[in-house]
Amino acid sequence: MRVLVTGAKGQLGQDVVRLFESAGHQVLASDRNTLDITDDATCLKVVKEFKPNAIIHCAAYTAVDQAERDVDAAYAVNAVGTRNLVLAAEQVKAKFCYISTDYVFDGSDILPYQEYDNTNPQSVYGKSKRAGEILVQSLSSAFFIVRTSWVYGLYGNNFVKTMLKLGQEKPVLSVVNDQKGSPTYTVDLAAFLLELIQTEKYGIYHASNSGECTWYEFAQAIFEEARDIFGQTYPVQVKPCTTEDFPRPAPRPRNSVMDHLSIRTNGFQDLRPWREALKAFIKELKASQEH
């Protein structure tokens, strides 16, 4: 397959490119320097020249707190940029895969969110990503919307790397214990996208590593796994705190846990448990540092 990947320099995008290329697909890896998705003419030109069979749209405005002040920029990328790519994809009859987020939900529900539950985003970031979803659903004739959560991987900044860094610098860390979700390892998400894109099982999917935890429980697990794998002690003490203890400009969903109904009903294998994935990532991190 010929696959165009946007956001190819990002945390997920780099693993998607790596995995798709190693599976033998012809990949055009584009980032903001090579493809300005907010320019419709540029999108059309790039897509018509490359003629992809599929577009994996990883590019997004993801600065959650900054988006509260920078509303136009968030919508320009997440809504307008997505529309531009979908319209270009339709010109060459390419499948379209849009990476979305748990932030399209308000997080007030007690149960895990299913794919076709009503969305109710509370932040500008969540609203702009939902706007992108609506445009994909309205304009694409062959789409996958893949919502994910709490993403981490080898490339870029993320919660796991931040915890490991702070764990060596600070004696005590306070971590929020009243927001729960499912951490997602980029390698596992990319592997799911690779399988999904080769089918015609279109629709909305929730894809995260299975199981759930709070940020506090996630932090504890990070230090436990790191102690085993790196063989070093992290003297840090992790203490639970509340969302109110750490006020942020953008509201966070209290419950980000997503049920993988579409993965089950479409016959895909679910992503492995989050703790297993975390262990694999810390091993990958160790190997990369040794290189």
Contact predicate 91/132, CB 8 Å: no
Active site residue 125: yes
| CA–CA gap between residue 120 and residue 236 (Å, rounded) | 37
Contact predicate 149/256, CB 8 Å: yes
DSSP per position, the chain: -EEEEESTTSHHHHHHHHHHHHTT-EEEE--TTT--TT-HHHHHHHHHHH--SEEEE------TTGGGT-HHHHHIIIIIIHHHHHHHHHHTT-EEEEEEEGGGS-S--SSPBPTTSPP---SHHHHHHHHHHHHHHHH-SSEEEEEE-SEE-SSS--HHHHHHHHHHH-SEEEEE-S-EE--EEHHHHHHHHHHHHTS---EEEE---BS-EEHHHHHHHHHHHHHHHH------EEEEE-GGGS--SSPPPSB--B--HHHHHTTPPPPPBHHHHHHHHHHHHHHHHH-
| CA–CA gap between residue 6 and residue 104 (Å, rounded) | 21
Q: Please give the structure tokens belonging to residue 19.
A: 């995995």
User: Which single residue is written with the structure tokens 């810390």?
Assistant: 282
Q: Which of 61, 125, 152, 234 is catalytic?
A: 125
DSSP per position, 153-183: -SSS--HHHHHHHHHHH-SEEEEE-S-EE--
The residues assigned a catalytic role are: 125
